[in-house]
Amino acid sequence: MRITTKDFHIAWIKLLLFLSLGSILYLLIVNDAMLYKTPLSQVIALSSKKKIYQTDNFNNKDYQQTQILKLRILNGKYRGKTVNISNTFSSSNAYDLQYHRGQQLFISLHSLEKNDDIIITGMKRDTTIFLITYLAIGLLFMIIKMHGFLALISVLLNASFFFAAVKLDVITHATTSNVLFIFGALAVLLLGITSLLTFGRSKQTLILFCSSLGSTSIGLLLSIIILTTTNYNGINFEMMGYVTQLRVPLYLAGSILGSLGAVMDVATDITASLFTLAYRTPTLRFRDFVQAGHKIGKSVMGPLINVLFLIFLAGTLPMMVLAMRNGNSFSYSFSMIMSLGIVQSIISGIAISLTIPITTFLTSWHCSRSKKRDVL
Amino acid sequence: MNSIVILSFVLLLTMFAAGGKSGIKSFFSLVSCCCVVFVTIILIAWNFPYLWITIISSLIILILVIYLRDADIKSANTAFLSSVIILVLLVLLVIPLEYVAQVQGFSSENSADLESMSLLIGFNFMNAAIAMTILSCLGAVAEATVSVAAGLSEVLSHDPSVSNEELYQDGMMIGKQIISTAFNTLFFGFFGGFLALFIWFIRLSYTFGEFLNNKIFVVEFLLTIISIIGVTLSIPAVIWLTMLERKKTSKK
């Protein structure tokens, strides 16, 4: 592809537009304190006290340091007032942070007189979220143009249904049967939406939907049978994080949702390629389609299962480091912290590999049968 | 019997059923990747220089994922090289990003897990956050580069005389499809992995603002978005490298 000066011209204007829109939005979000009901403040000056060194039971050397922060309140009835509060942090930053001038912090504040009551409840991170999302969307449109729009709509639709289901789960007080029913129905709904958005109203959509649903259900059923017959041996459900309801159904619901995307990924690859193949060479027989489908499935299976493994494994890294630095062995930390993520990845892996024969069979059957009547 | 052992065995069986010999190969690549991640965690916990460890393990993981498949060596080389380029770009993006986001360490939602643990361990959790973000996006990047490279090599093998413009168009066509499916994989993974956390947020009626600025939410969101940026960048990188490779071989 040769790039002419004309192309460059347009690209420059677009880039400039992209950057200036970004800067305007950035400035708006930096100054959006009035949108928050929680008191928000900005660090305008700070001074640090001496470092206090200490060593814990496991011979880890660390220090703690106290900083006095002068905060200007940015919203609410105390807007414009300043308060002084102290913040203690360590060099590890495990459960604390060192603050710097210019950062915006959420605080809980009842009255200005009693400074001791004021505590920092968190940092304002919406600007970071905005910057990285803006960059991602910008790149998406730059590279795949308007097609990126469709991908975004799909994500937003799925996210809104997901939140609706979570809300429903909370409202209905999440009994065991409820949880599996709500999230099972959600899974079917999300599958339907995503299949429709991928292939439009066509036979391909139907095949994609059926094979993804079939393989996820069989994979999950198989996993549940194994888990119950082995009596969940070696899996520490009591170590599940953020639990507010019964653990096992919640965990299984998470596993179903987690594997859906990857299952659809393989199923889409296989159906799309086999339909193209059938379109190009309509004389192919069932066996040829099966062979072609398996070839595609084989090459994407490994990398795809790896995607989920790496996401779930890497996410445990900070907790693993903390556990091991607290004198726990690797195998103990593994069984306490990593086993849940590993099992979730294995369940997804089983569903993904089951997708290959199921999708290949369904698509090949359809393509080899319909060639005579030419219903593609 | 231990559930994990039985489940892994069933995974091996289903992978064999789906892909025969190459299914077994993929299974071993998976097991080796896990072992690499384990070693990385241990070394980082022992205070080895985290950035070097992360980069070296990332390269090993990329090699394991990309080369332990049934693929022609040329498209595997292209996929590997472009993944390395993306890896470098992402490292350069992630380090400043983590410093701005300040999401290292744990949050009040974790307090139950942290009971009885010493938190002053003299280990900078910023390093863990950076290592975690880089490792978690590798799978998605490798998958994207492998798919585009394989698609393009298919196009080239059918018609070696295809023009660069057409090759570019074909690459973009393949890329579009890969981005949509990768989006699904990543976002569903995100929803599934953090279902419990989202239920927590809603049950304890977090406001939209609290939710958006929550440390754990931001950590997970960054992991997903960084993977998406990696996948998106993979497409032009692979197309560009395939063209470069072609120019080189045609000169010879």
Give every CB contact of residue B197 below 8 A, 6+ residues apart in sequence. Answer: A241, A242, B109, B216, B217, B220
Give the tens place of pLDDT for each residue, A36-74: 999 999 999 999 999 999 998 898 999 999 999 999 999
Task: Indicate yes or no: CB of A306 within 8 angstroms of CB of B65.
Answer: yes
User: Do the Cβ atoms of A79 and A63 come closer than 8 Å?
Assistant: no
Which of A133, A240, A307 is the best mutation test for B, with the most CBs of B within 10 A?
Answer: A307
Q: How sure is the predictor about A6, in pLDDT bands with cuts at 50, 70 and 90?
A: low
φ/ψ (deg, to 5) at B121: -105, 10
Percent of chain A with pLDDT over 90: 69
Query: What is the interface pTM, i.e. ipTM, of the complex?
Result: 0.94
Task: Indicate yes or no: CB of B42 within 8 angstroms of CB of A254.
Answer: no
pLDDT at A234 over 80: yes
Q: How sure is the predictor about A281, in pLDDT bands with cuts at 50, 70 and 90?
A: confident
Give the tens place of pLDDT for each residue, A327-368: 999 999 999 999 999 999 999 999 999 999 999 999 999 988
Which of B90, B155, B232 is the best mutation test for A, with the most CBs of A within 10 A?
Answer: B232
State the average pLDDT over residues A83-98.
92
Distance CA A11, CA A142 (A): 9
Task: Indicate yes or no: CB of B68 within 8 angstroms of CB of A302.
Answer: yes
B148 touches chain A (CB under 8 A): no
Give the tens place of pLDDT for each residue, B15-27: 999 999 999 999 9
Number of domains in chain B: 1
CA dihedral B35, A306, A144, B235 (to 10 degrees): 50
User: Do the Cβ atoms of B100 and A128 come closer than 8 Å?
Assistant: yes
Give the tens place of pLDDT for each residue, A134-165: 999 999 988 888 888 888 999 999 999 999 99
State the average pLDDT over residues A213-238.
92
Q: Which residues of B touch A102 (CB under 8 A)?
A: none
Classify residue B27: in a domain, yes or no: no
What is the pLDDT of chain B when averaged over all its residues?
92
* DSSP 3-state percent helix, strand, coil across chain B (nearest 5): 85, 0, 15
Distance CA A256, CA B209 (A): 29
Retrieve residue B98's tokens: 């983590």
Q: How sure is the predictor about A1, in pLDDT bands with cuts at 50, 70 and 90?
A: very low
Better-predicted residue by pLDDT, A358 or B114: A358
Distance CA A303, CA B145 (A): 10
Give the tens place of pLDDT for each residue, B185-203: 999 999 998 899 999 999 9
Give the tens place of pLDDT for each residue, A303-313: 999 999 999 99
Better-predicted residue by pLDDT, A11 or A321: A321
Give me the total of CB pairs closer than 8 Å, taking one residue from chain A and one from chain B.
Answer: 427
Which domain does B183 fall in, by range?
50-251
For residue B104, the distance in angstroms to the closest alpha carbon of chain A comes to 7
Give every CB contact of residue A140 below 8 A, 6+ residues apart in sequence. Answer: A148, A151, A152, B179, B228, B232
Three-state DSSP at A210 gives helix
Residue of A nearest to B58 (CA): A310
pLDDT at A373 over 90: no
Retrieve residue A184's tokens: 């099972």
pLDDT at A8 over 70: no
For residue A271, the distance in angstroms to the closest alpha carbon of chain B comes to 12
pLDDT at A174 over 80: no
Distance CA B110, CA A201 (A): 45
Classify residue B24: in a domain, yes or no: no
Q: How sure is the predictor about A11, in pLDDT bands with cuts at 50, 70 and 90?
A: confident
Classify residue B170: in a domain, yes or no: yes
Give the tens place of pLDDT for each residue, A109-119: 887 776 677 88
Task: Indicate yes or no: CB of B213 within 8 angstroms of CB of A90.
Answer: no
| pLDDT value at residue A7 | 55
Distance CA A235, CA A140 (A): 40
Retrieve residue B52's tokens: 């070097």
State the average pLDDT over residues B74-99.
96
Give the tens place of pLDDT for each residue, A240-267: 888 888 888 899 999 999 999 999 999 9
Q: Which residues of A touch B89 (CB under 8 A)?
A: none
Task: Indicate yes or no: CB of A353 within 8 angstroms of CB of B168.
Answer: no
Distance CA B29, CA B25 (A): 6
| pLDDT value at residue B42 | 96
Task: Indicate yes or no: CB of A241 within 8 angstroms of CB of B196.
Answer: yes
User: Do the Cβ atoms of A45 and A72 come closer than 8 Å?
Assistant: no
Classify residue B14: in a domain, yes or no: no
Distance CA B228, CA B175 (A): 13
Q: Which residues of B touch A234 (CB under 8 A)?
A: 2-5
The neighbour count for residue B88, using CB atoms within 10 Å, is: 11
DSSP class of residue A4?
Answer: P
First-to-final CA distance of chain B = 59
Place of tokens 């653990």: A247
State the average pLDDT over residues B131-149.
95
pLDDT at A123 over 60: yes
Residue of A nearest to B124 (CA): A92
State the average pLDDT over residues A210-220.
96
Task: Indicate yes or no: CB of B18 within 8 angstroms of CB of A35.
Answer: no
pTM of the entire predicted model: 0.93
Retrieve residue A155's tokens: 């994500």
What is the pLDDT of chain A when averaged over all its residues?
90
Place of tokens 């507010």: A244
Which of A54, A133, A298, A309 is the best mutation test for B, with the most CBs of B within 10 A?
Answer: A298
Least CB–CB distance from A265: residue in B42, B184, B213 = B184
Retrieve residue B29's tokens: 């690549």
Percent of chain B with pLDDT over 90: 73
Q: How sure is the predictor about A375, in pLDDT bands with cuts at 50, 70 and 90?
A: very low
